[in-house]
Amino acid sequence: MFFPGRSTEIYRSKRFRSIVPASLRLLVTATILLYKVAIPCALAQEPSERIQSLTKSLESEPGTALIDSINNLGYSTFTGNLLASTSALASAFNAAQTLGYTEGEARSAENLGLTFYLSGAYDSSTYYNLHAIALYKKLGNEIQAAKVLCGQGYQMKRRNLNEAFTYYRSGLSVLRKIAPREELSAVFNNYGVLHEMNNDLDSAIYFYSASLELSRELTDSLGIPFALNTLAFAHLLK
């Protein structure tokens, strides 16, 4: 998920209290603080030994299982160890190409798109995201290709908002047709962020509301407070 953070000032505002039911205010505040404080602290302590071990094993004896293990390390490990993770994913990407393992190459490229983006290497991030999209389409995995398109659009929001919308709309048009409903809440929320940044608050509120409705339908304990957070903030801006 790409839920954006908000200032905790919102929770003290009268508008927030008028929009968010009292029974949910504590849940919203606690969840956002968890993501602002507890999770970043945990990420800072994430060890890199496993990443380095997997990288050495892959370099000495390349195999699809090791490529998968590196790609399965997950978001928190990648973001907590950007340098080591990028090196490991690059090794996995190269090994997958050598072995003709297209799925492993696509996943490695997608993850490299993330780590390069978080490292501020935006051109490299775009290159690997587009490479992943092409490979996922080749594999017939239209949902994952569309997700990466949306991710590329979201990553570009502060650099080129017009291009961000182009990428995001392309991915969203596919996801709305074929993606499972449980995968759409964060997608709608992030699309609302783009509209908010474009000063189209009515559209932002529409997509934040759609995200909230889906989160409630799925009883998503993380999605509900985040959707409430973005929705309340958008109302504050009106």
pTM: 0.80
* Each residue's pLDDT tens digit, 121-137: 999 999 999 999 999 99
Q: Specify the residue for token string 């290159």.
A: 127
Band (pLDDT 50/70/90 cuts) for residue 54 is: very high
In angstroms, the CA 213 to CA 180 distance is 15
Q: Residue 42: which of 16, 15, 14, 75 has the closest Cα?
A: 75
Contact 112, 93 (CB under 8 A): yes
Contact 152, 167 (CB under 8 A): yes
Band (pLDDT 50/70/90 cuts) for residue 24 is: low
Q: Residue 19 has which token pair?
A: 């929009």
Burial 209-224, CB ≥16 within 10 A → b, else e: bbbbebbeeeebeebb
Task: Provide the pLDDT for residue 37.
Answer: 47
Q: Does 29 have pLDDT greater than 70?
A: no
Q: Does 11 have pLDDT greater than 70?
A: no
Band (pLDDT 50/70/90 cuts) for residue 8 is: very low
* Each residue's pLDDT tens digit, 144-162: 999 999 999 999 999 999 9
Q: What angle do CA 134, 140, 143 make, to 5 degrees?
A: 80
Q: Does 10 have pLDDT greater than 50?
A: no
Q: Residue 175 has which token pair?
A: 């996801």
* Each residue's pLDDT tens digit, 86-96: 999 999 999 99
Domains of the chain, by residue range, sit at 1-39+181-238, 46-179
Looking at per-residue pLDDT, the higher value among 13 and 100 belongs to 100
Q: Residue 194 has which token pair?
A: 């783009």
DSSP annotation string for 86-102: HHHHHHHHHHHHHHT-H
Lowest mean pLDDT among 33-42, 56-65, 119-128, 195-204: 33-42
Q: What's domain 46-179's architecture?
A: Alpha Horseshoe (1.25)
**Eight-class DSSP state of 10:** G
10 Å CB burial of residue 113 (0-12, 13-18, 19+) is buried
In angstroms, the CA 30 to CA 19 distance is 17
In angstroms, the CA 124 to CA 112 distance is 8
How many C-beta neighbours within 10 Å does residue 45 have? 7
**CA quadruple 196, 144, 36, 215: dihedral positive or negative?**
positive
Band (pLDDT 50/70/90 cuts) for residue 222 is: confident
